[in-house]
Protein backbone atom coordinates (compact mmCIF):
# COMPACT_ATOMS: atom_id res chain seq x y z
CA UNK A 1 0.00 0.00 0.00
CA UNK A 2 1.29 3.46 -0.93
CA UNK A 3 -0.10 6.97 -0.82
CA UNK A 4 -0.66 8.67 -4.14
CA UNK A 5 -1.28 12.43 -3.99
CA UNK A 6 -3.48 14.36 -6.44
CA UNK A 7 -2.66 18.05 -6.66
CA UNK A 8 -4.69 20.69 -8.47
CA UNK A 9 -5.50 24.39 -8.34
CA UNK A 10 -8.43 25.79 -6.37
CA UNK A 11 -10.83 28.57 -7.37
CA UNK A 12 -11.73 30.14 -4.00
CA UNK A 13 -13.83 33.28 -3.57
CA UNK A 14 -12.57 36.26 -1.58
CA UNK A 15 -14.03 35.01 1.70
CA UNK A 16 -12.39 31.62 1.25
CA UNK A 17 -9.05 33.23 0.39
CA UNK A 18 -9.20 35.11 3.68
CA UNK A 19 -9.91 31.87 5.54
CA UNK A 20 -7.00 30.20 3.74
CA UNK A 21 -4.65 32.95 4.87
CA UNK A 22 -5.93 32.71 8.46
CA UNK A 23 -5.38 28.95 8.55
CA UNK A 24 -1.90 29.32 7.03
CA UNK A 25 -1.15 31.95 9.66
CA UNK A 26 -2.44 29.63 12.38
CA UNK A 27 -0.08 26.86 11.25
CA UNK A 28 2.84 29.30 11.04
CA UNK A 29 2.20 30.81 14.50
CA UNK A 30 1.88 27.38 16.15
CA UNK A 31 5.06 26.15 14.43
CA UNK A 32 7.11 29.24 15.34
CA UNK A 33 5.83 29.33 18.94
CA UNK A 34 6.79 25.69 19.55
CA UNK A 35 10.12 26.08 17.73
CA UNK A 36 10.94 29.02 20.03
CA UNK A 37 10.47 26.79 23.08
CA UNK A 38 12.55 23.97 21.60
CA UNK A 39 15.32 26.31 20.52
CA UNK A 40 15.49 27.90 23.95
CA UNK A 41 15.83 24.50 25.62
CA UNK A 42 18.37 23.33 23.06
CA UNK A 43 20.61 26.40 23.47
CA UNK A 44 20.41 26.32 27.29
CA UNK A 45 21.09 22.58 27.44
CA UNK A 46 17.90 21.81 29.38
CA UNK A 47 16.04 18.59 28.76
CA UNK A 48 12.74 19.63 30.32
CA UNK A 49 10.80 20.02 27.07
CA UNK A 50 10.88 17.02 24.79
CA UNK A 51 10.16 17.43 21.05
CA UNK A 52 6.83 15.68 21.42
CA UNK A 53 3.89 16.97 19.37
CA UNK A 54 1.36 15.75 21.96
CA UNK A 55 3.06 17.59 24.85
CA UNK A 56 3.42 20.75 22.76
CA UNK A 57 -0.25 20.54 21.73
CA UNK A 58 -1.34 20.46 25.38
CA UNK A 59 0.73 23.58 26.09
CA UNK A 60 -0.69 25.31 23.01
CA UNK A 61 -4.25 24.57 24.17
CA UNK A 62 -3.57 26.58 27.32
CA UNK A 63 -1.83 29.29 25.31
CA UNK A 64 -4.88 29.72 23.04
CA UNK A 65 -6.96 30.99 25.94
CA UNK A 66 -4.60 33.88 26.67
CA UNK A 67 -2.50 34.73 23.62
CA UNK A 68 -4.21 33.11 20.62
CA UNK A 69 -7.99 33.29 21.15
CA UNK A 70 -8.53 33.82 17.40
CA UNK A 71 -7.44 30.21 16.75
CA UNK A 72 -10.78 28.97 18.12
CA UNK A 73 -12.48 30.18 14.93
CA UNK A 74 -10.31 27.91 12.77
CA UNK A 75 -9.94 24.15 12.34
CA UNK A 76 -8.35 22.59 15.42
CA UNK A 77 -6.38 20.09 13.31
CA UNK A 78 -4.23 22.76 11.64
CA UNK A 79 -1.96 23.70 14.60
CA UNK A 80 -1.73 20.05 15.68
CA UNK A 81 -0.39 18.93 12.30
CA UNK A 82 2.04 21.87 12.27
CA UNK A 83 3.44 20.61 15.60
CA UNK A 84 3.77 17.08 14.19
CA UNK A 85 5.76 18.51 11.25
CA UNK A 86 8.01 20.37 13.71
CA UNK A 87 8.60 17.19 15.70
CA UNK A 88 9.63 15.38 12.51
CA UNK A 89 12.02 18.19 11.50
CA UNK A 90 13.51 18.38 15.00
CA UNK A 91 14.14 14.63 15.20
CA UNK A 92 15.67 14.68 11.72
CA UNK A 93 18.11 17.36 12.90
CA UNK A 94 19.25 15.24 15.84
CA UNK A 95 19.62 12.22 13.59
CA UNK A 96 21.62 13.90 10.81
CA UNK A 97 23.10 16.84 12.76
CA UNK A 98 22.21 19.05 9.81
CA UNK A 99 19.51 21.63 9.18
CA UNK A 100 18.16 22.93 12.47
CA UNK A 101 14.46 23.85 11.93
CA UNK A 102 13.98 27.45 10.81
CA UNK A 103 11.22 29.89 11.73
CA UNK A 104 8.57 30.27 9.05
CA UNK A 105 8.10 33.68 7.43
CA UNK A 106 4.80 35.13 6.31
CA UNK A 107 4.42 34.98 2.54
CA UNK A 108 6.96 32.19 2.08
CA UNK A 109 5.71 28.61 1.75
CA UNK A 110 2.30 29.45 3.20
CA UNK A 111 0.47 26.15 3.67
CA UNK A 112 -1.66 24.17 6.11
CA UNK A 113 -3.14 20.69 6.40
CA UNK A 114 -6.72 19.80 7.26
CA UNK A 115 -8.14 16.53 8.52
CA UNK A 116 -11.63 15.14 9.04
CA UNK A 117 -14.88 16.14 7.33
CA UNK A 118 -13.26 16.36 3.87
CA UNK A 119 -15.27 15.24 0.85
CA UNK A 120 -14.41 15.41 -2.85
CA UNK A 121 -17.08 15.92 -5.51
CA UNK A 122 -16.68 16.08 -9.28
CA UNK A 123 -15.57 19.72 -9.46
CA UNK A 124 -15.70 20.79 -5.80
CA UNK A 125 -14.30 19.85 -2.42
CA UNK A 126 -15.74 20.35 1.06
CA UNK A 127 -13.24 21.56 3.66
CA UNK A 128 -13.90 21.94 7.43
CA UNK A 129 -14.43 25.54 8.63
CA UNK A 130 -14.11 26.76 5.02
CA UNK A 131 -16.97 25.18 3.13
CA UNK A 132 -17.27 24.00 -0.46
CA UNK A 133 -14.46 25.27 -2.73
CA UNK A 134 -14.43 24.94 -6.50
CA UNK A 135 -11.67 22.97 -8.23
CA UNK A 136 -10.05 24.23 -11.40
CA UNK A 137 -9.87 20.72 -12.92
CA UNK A 138 -12.98 18.57 -13.14
CA UNK A 139 -12.73 14.88 -12.32
CA UNK A 140 -8.99 14.88 -11.58
CA UNK A 141 -9.18 14.12 -7.85
CA UNK A 142 -10.97 10.80 -7.18
CA UNK A 143 -14.37 11.09 -5.53
CA UNK A 144 -14.53 10.13 -1.88
CA UNK A 145 -13.65 11.19 1.65
CA UNK A 146 -9.86 11.46 1.99
CA UNK A 147 -8.29 11.55 5.42
CA UNK A 148 -6.39 14.80 4.83
CA UNK A 149 -5.79 17.68 2.42
CA UNK A 150 -2.92 20.17 2.20
CA UNK A 151 -3.59 23.68 0.87
CA UNK A 152 -0.65 25.82 -0.26
CA UNK A 153 -0.09 29.25 -1.80
CA UNK A 154 2.23 29.58 -4.80
CA UNK A 155 2.71 32.88 -6.65
CA UNK A 156 -0.70 34.15 -5.60
CA UNK A 157 -2.54 30.91 -6.54
CA UNK A 158 -4.00 28.36 -4.13
CA UNK A 159 -3.42 24.62 -4.64
CA UNK A 160 -4.71 21.53 -2.87
CA UNK A 161 -3.00 18.15 -2.54
CA UNK A 162 -5.14 15.15 -1.56
CA UNK A 163 -3.50 11.78 -0.75
CA UNK A 164 -5.23 8.45 -1.38
CA UNK A 165 -4.05 5.03 -0.26
CA UNK A 166 -3.47 2.79 -3.28
CA UNK A 167 -2.72 -0.92 -3.34
CA UNK A 168 -0.07 -1.93 -5.85
CA UNK A 169 -0.32 -5.10 -7.89
CA UNK A 170 2.61 -7.49 -7.74
CA UNK A 171 3.83 -8.33 -11.24
CA UNK A 172 6.28 -10.77 -12.75
CA UNK A 173 9.07 -8.96 -14.58
CA UNK A 174 10.12 -10.08 -18.06
CA UNK A 175 13.42 -9.68 -19.89
CA UNK A 176 12.54 -6.37 -21.56
CA UNK A 177 15.24 -3.92 -20.41
CA UNK A 178 15.53 -0.21 -21.19
CA UNK A 179 18.73 1.68 -20.48
CA UNK A 180 18.27 5.42 -19.84
CA UNK A 181 21.17 7.89 -19.99
CA UNK A 182 20.65 11.44 -18.72
CA UNK A 183 22.47 14.24 -20.48
CA UNK A 184 22.93 17.98 -20.89
CA UNK A 185 22.16 18.47 -24.59
CA UNK A 186 19.14 16.17 -24.36
CA UNK A 187 17.23 15.25 -21.22
CA UNK A 188 17.37 11.50 -21.77
CA UNK A 189 18.55 9.00 -24.38
CA UNK A 190 17.13 5.46 -24.35
CA UNK A 191 18.80 2.28 -25.51
CA UNK A 192 16.05 1.78 -28.12
CA UNK A 193 17.07 5.05 -29.81
CA UNK A 194 14.42 7.32 -28.28
CA UNK A 195 15.75 10.80 -27.51
CA UNK A 196 13.87 13.19 -25.22
CA UNK A 197 14.95 16.79 -25.72
CA UNK A 198 15.15 19.53 -23.12
CA UNK A 199 12.62 22.35 -23.03
CA UNK A 200 14.30 25.48 -24.39
CA UNK A 201 11.63 27.84 -23.05
CA UNK A 202 13.20 27.64 -19.58
CA UNK A 203 16.15 29.67 -20.86
CA UNK A 204 13.81 32.48 -21.97
CA UNK A 205 12.23 32.69 -18.53
CA UNK A 206 15.66 32.61 -16.89
CA UNK A 207 16.64 35.69 -18.92
CA UNK A 208 13.42 37.39 -17.85
CA UNK A 209 14.14 36.45 -14.25
CA UNK A 210 17.64 37.91 -14.46
CA UNK A 211 16.26 41.26 -15.71
CA UNK A 212 13.68 41.39 -12.91
CA UNK A 213 16.30 40.64 -10.26
CA UNK A 214 18.49 43.49 -11.54
CA UNK A 215 15.45 45.76 -11.50
CA UNK A 216 14.69 44.73 -7.92
CA UNK A 217 18.23 45.55 -6.81
CA UNK A 218 17.84 49.14 -8.06
CA UNK A 219 14.47 49.80 -6.40
CA UNK A 220 14.01 51.40 -3.01
CA UNK A 221 13.24 49.04 -0.15
CA UNK A 222 9.68 49.28 1.14
CA UNK A 223 8.31 50.88 -2.02
CA UNK A 224 5.20 49.60 -3.82
CA UNK A 225 7.07 49.18 -7.08
CA UNK A 226 9.58 46.91 -5.33
CA UNK A 227 6.74 44.76 -3.96
CA UNK A 228 5.24 44.52 -7.45
CA UNK A 229 8.61 43.39 -8.82
CA UNK A 230 8.84 40.77 -6.09
CA UNK A 231 5.48 39.37 -7.11
CA UNK A 232 6.59 39.29 -10.74
CA UNK A 233 9.72 37.38 -9.74
CA UNK A 234 7.60 34.86 -7.82
CA UNK A 235 5.45 34.29 -10.90
CA UNK A 236 8.48 33.71 -13.12
CA UNK A 237 10.02 31.32 -10.59
CA UNK A 238 6.72 29.47 -10.44
CA UNK A 239 6.56 29.27 -14.24
CA UNK A 240 10.10 27.85 -14.45
CA UNK A 241 9.30 25.30 -11.74
CA UNK A 242 6.14 24.21 -13.54
CA UNK A 243 7.91 23.80 -16.88
CA UNK A 244 10.64 21.70 -15.27
CA UNK A 245 8.13 19.54 -13.38
CA UNK A 246 6.00 19.10 -16.49
CA UNK A 247 8.82 17.76 -18.68
CA UNK A 248 10.13 15.52 -15.88
CA UNK A 249 6.70 14.06 -15.12
CA UNK A 250 5.97 13.45 -18.80
CA UNK A 251 9.39 11.87 -19.35
CA UNK A 252 9.36 9.57 -16.31
CA UNK A 253 5.77 8.49 -17.01
CA UNK A 254 6.67 7.75 -20.64
CA UNK A 255 9.65 5.65 -19.58
CA UNK A 256 7.86 3.53 -16.99
CA UNK A 257 5.03 2.88 -19.45
CA UNK A 258 7.37 2.11 -22.36
CA UNK A 259 7.57 -1.65 -21.81
CA UNK A 260 4.97 -3.23 -19.52
CA UNK A 261 6.44 -5.32 -16.71
CA UNK A 262 9.97 -4.64 -17.93
CA UNK A 263 13.15 -3.26 -16.36
CA UNK A 264 14.66 0.22 -16.41
CA UNK A 265 18.37 0.83 -15.75
CA UNK A 266 19.59 4.32 -14.83
CA UNK A 267 22.86 5.78 -13.58
CA UNK A 268 23.73 6.57 -9.98
CA UNK A 269 24.83 10.14 -10.68
CA UNK A 270 26.84 12.16 -8.17
CA UNK A 271 24.68 15.29 -8.57
CA UNK A 272 26.27 17.11 -5.61
CA UNK A 273 29.71 16.69 -7.19
CA UNK A 274 28.54 17.56 -10.70
CA UNK A 275 27.05 20.93 -9.73
CA UNK A 276 30.46 21.98 -8.38
CA UNK A 277 31.55 22.32 -12.00
CA UNK A 278 30.62 25.94 -12.69
CA UNK A 279 30.33 25.27 -16.44
CA UNK A 280 27.72 22.54 -15.92
CA UNK A 281 26.04 23.64 -12.70
CA UNK A 282 23.28 25.73 -14.30
CA UNK A 283 22.45 23.12 -16.94
CA UNK A 284 22.31 20.31 -14.36
CA UNK A 285 20.15 22.36 -12.01
CA UNK A 286 17.87 23.31 -14.92
CA UNK A 287 17.28 19.66 -15.79
CA UNK A 288 16.87 18.36 -12.24
CA UNK A 289 18.71 15.01 -12.22
CA UNK A 290 17.85 14.39 -8.57
CA UNK A 291 14.12 15.00 -9.14
CA UNK A 292 14.24 12.72 -12.21
CA UNK A 293 15.52 9.84 -10.10
CA UNK A 294 12.99 10.48 -7.32
CA UNK A 295 10.08 10.42 -9.77
CA UNK A 296 11.19 7.36 -11.68
CA UNK A 297 11.70 5.45 -8.41
CA UNK A 298 8.18 5.89 -7.08
CA UNK A 299 6.53 5.63 -10.52
CA UNK A 300 8.30 2.32 -11.11
CA UNK A 301 6.47 1.01 -8.04
CA UNK A 302 3.17 2.44 -9.27
CA UNK A 303 3.35 0.88 -12.72
CA UNK A 304 5.00 -2.41 -11.77
CA UNK A 305 8.41 -1.71 -13.32
CA UNK A 306 11.68 -3.08 -11.99
CA UNK A 307 14.25 -0.30 -11.50
CA UNK A 308 18.00 -0.95 -11.38
CA UNK A 309 20.46 1.81 -10.44
CA UNK A 310 23.85 1.11 -11.99
CA UNK A 311 26.91 1.46 -9.80
CA UNK A 312 28.48 4.92 -9.82
CA UNK A 313 31.80 3.53 -11.08
CA UNK A 314 30.25 1.76 -14.04
CA UNK A 315 31.82 3.50 -17.12
CA UNK A 316 28.69 3.61 -19.25
CA UNK A 317 29.83 6.69 -21.22
CA UNK A 318 33.44 5.68 -21.84
CA UNK A 319 32.93 1.99 -22.58
CA UNK A 320 32.50 0.69 -26.13
CA UNK A 321 29.21 -1.21 -26.07
CA UNK A 322 30.45 -3.58 -28.78
CA UNK A 323 33.83 -4.59 -27.34
CA UNK A 324 33.52 -3.63 -23.67
CA UNK A 325 36.76 -1.64 -23.80
CA UNK A 326 37.06 1.65 -21.90
CA UNK A 327 38.47 4.82 -23.49
CA UNK A 328 40.06 6.93 -20.74
CA UNK A 329 40.86 9.74 -23.18
CA UNK A 330 37.19 10.46 -23.87
CA UNK A 331 36.18 14.00 -22.81
CA UNK A 332 32.88 15.86 -22.63
CA UNK A 333 33.64 17.36 -26.04
CA UNK A 334 33.64 13.95 -27.68
CA UNK A 335 30.06 13.19 -28.64
CA UNK A 336 30.76 10.16 -30.88
CA UNK A 337 32.12 6.70 -30.01
CA UNK A 338 34.37 5.15 -32.69
CA UNK A 339 34.29 1.35 -32.83
CA UNK A 340 37.02 -0.99 -34.00
CA UNK A 341 34.92 -2.13 -36.98
CA UNK A 342 34.84 1.44 -38.35
CA UNK A 343 31.28 2.28 -37.27
CA UNK A 344 30.26 5.05 -34.87
CA UNK A 345 27.59 5.53 -32.21
CA UNK A 346 26.33 8.66 -30.51
CA UNK A 347 27.93 8.97 -27.07
CA UNK A 348 24.62 9.15 -25.18
CA UNK A 349 23.13 6.22 -27.11
CA UNK A 350 26.27 4.20 -26.42
CA UNK A 351 25.89 4.90 -22.70
CA UNK A 352 22.22 3.91 -22.77
CA UNK A 353 23.05 0.60 -24.46
CA UNK A 354 25.73 -0.09 -21.85
CA UNK A 355 23.18 0.58 -19.14
CA UNK A 356 20.75 -1.81 -20.81
CA UNK A 357 23.47 -4.49 -20.72
CA UNK A 358 24.35 -3.73 -17.11
CA UNK A 359 24.62 -6.93 -15.01
CA UNK A 360 21.55 -6.85 -12.76
CA UNK A 361 23.35 -8.60 -9.92
CA UNK A 362 25.80 -5.71 -9.54
CA UNK A 363 23.21 -3.00 -8.77
CA UNK A 364 24.30 -0.98 -5.77
CA UNK A 365 27.15 -3.35 -4.92
CA UNK A 366 29.83 -2.19 -7.32
CA UNK A 367 32.10 -4.36 -9.46
CA UNK A 368 35.87 -4.43 -9.36
CA UNK A 369 36.02 -4.78 -13.16
CA UNK A 370 34.75 -1.20 -13.48
CA UNK A 371 36.69 0.52 -10.68
CA UNK A 372 39.96 2.39 -11.22
CA UNK A 373 42.76 0.75 -13.19
CA UNK A 374 41.12 -2.68 -13.23
CA UNK A 375 38.70 -1.67 -15.99
CA UNK A 376 39.56 -2.99 -19.49
CA UNK A 377 41.17 -0.22 -21.53
CA UNK A 378 40.75 0.70 -25.17
CA UNK A 379 43.95 0.35 -27.20
CA UNK A 380 42.75 1.92 -30.46
CA UNK A 381 41.57 5.52 -30.06
CA UNK A 382 40.52 7.88 -32.82
CA UNK A 383 43.07 10.72 -33.21
CA UNK A 384 41.94 13.82 -31.30
CA UNK A 385 42.34 16.17 -34.22
CA UNK A 386 40.04 14.04 -36.38
CA UNK A 387 37.46 13.70 -33.64
CA UNK A 388 37.26 17.48 -33.19
CA UNK A 389 36.56 17.98 -36.89
CA UNK A 390 33.73 15.45 -36.95
CA UNK A 391 32.14 16.77 -33.73
User: pLDDT by residue (tens digit) across 222-275?
Assistant: 899 999 999 999 999 999 988 988 999 999 988 888 765 678 898 887 777 777
Q: What is the pLDDT of residue 257?
A: 82
The yes-or-no answer on residue 181 being catalytic is yes
pLDDT above 90: percentage of residues in the chain: 34
Same domain, 162 and 256: no
Q: Which of 267, 311, 325, 334 is catalytic?
A: 267
Give the Cβ contact number of residue 90 at 10 Å.
21
With a cut of 70, say whether residue 371 has pLDDT above it: no
The residue ranking higher by pLDDT, 278 or 30, is: 30
φ/ψ region of 129 (left if φ > 0, alpha if ψ in -120 to 50, else beta) reads left
Range of the domain at 277: 171-198+244-391
Is residue 223 in some structural domain? no
- In the chain, how many domains are there? 2
Same domain, 92 and 140: yes
Q: How far is CA 188 from the centre of its chain?
A: 17
Same domain, 138 and 271: no
Is residue 210 in some structural domain? no
Same domain, 160 and 175: no
In this structure, are residues 102 and 36 in contact, taking their beta carbons and an 8 Å threshold? no
As a whole number, the mean pLDDT across the chain is 83
Q: Which of 181, 311, 320, 334 is catalytic?
A: 181
Q: What is the pLDDT of residue 26?
A: 95
Q: Which of 87, 311, 334, 348 is catalytic?
A: 348
Give the Cβ contact number of residue 343 at 10 Å.
9
The yes-or-no answer on residue 334 being catalytic is no
φ/ψ region of 247 (left if φ > 0, alpha if ψ in -120 to 50, else beta) reads alpha
Here the CATH number for the domain that contains residue 335 is 3.30.420
Is residue 216 in some structural domain? no
In this structure, are residues 265 and 310 in contact, taking their beta carbons and an 8 Å threshold? yes
pLDDT band, very low/low/confident/very high, at 70 (cuts 50, 70, 90): very high
Is residue 221 in some structural domain? no
pLDDT band, very low/low/confident/very high, at 11 (cuts 50, 70, 90): very high
Rounded (5°) CA angle 10-16-22: 110
Is residue 286 in some structural domain? yes
pTM of the model: 0.74
Same domain, 47 and 192: no
Q: What is the pLDDT of residue 113?
A: 96
Same domain, 18 and 156: yes
Same domain, 153 and 284: no
Quote the CA–CA distance of 112 and 30 in Å, as a whole number.
11
DSSP-derived pairing of the beta strands 263-267 and 306-310: parallel
With a cut of 50, say whether residue 305 has pLDDT above it: yes
The yes-or-no answer on residue 122 being catalytic is no
Same domain, 330 and 185: yes
pLDDT band, very low/low/confident/very high, at 318 (cuts 50, 70, 90): confident
Same domain, 129 and 76: yes
Residue 28 backbone dihedrals phi, psi, to 5 degrees: -65, -45
Same domain, 120 and 17: yes
Is residue 148 in some structural domain? yes
Amino acid sequence: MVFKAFKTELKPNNKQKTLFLKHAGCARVAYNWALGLLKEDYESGRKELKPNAYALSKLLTQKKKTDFPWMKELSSTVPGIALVNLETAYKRFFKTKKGFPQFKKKGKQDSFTLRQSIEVFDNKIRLPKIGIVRLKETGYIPLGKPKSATISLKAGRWFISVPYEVELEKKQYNDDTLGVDLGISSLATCSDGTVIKNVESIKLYEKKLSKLQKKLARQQKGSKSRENTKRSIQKVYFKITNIRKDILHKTTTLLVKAKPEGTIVIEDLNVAGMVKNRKLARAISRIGFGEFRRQIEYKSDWYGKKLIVADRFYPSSKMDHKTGEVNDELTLRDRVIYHADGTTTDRDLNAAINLKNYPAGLAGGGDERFIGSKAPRCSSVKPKENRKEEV
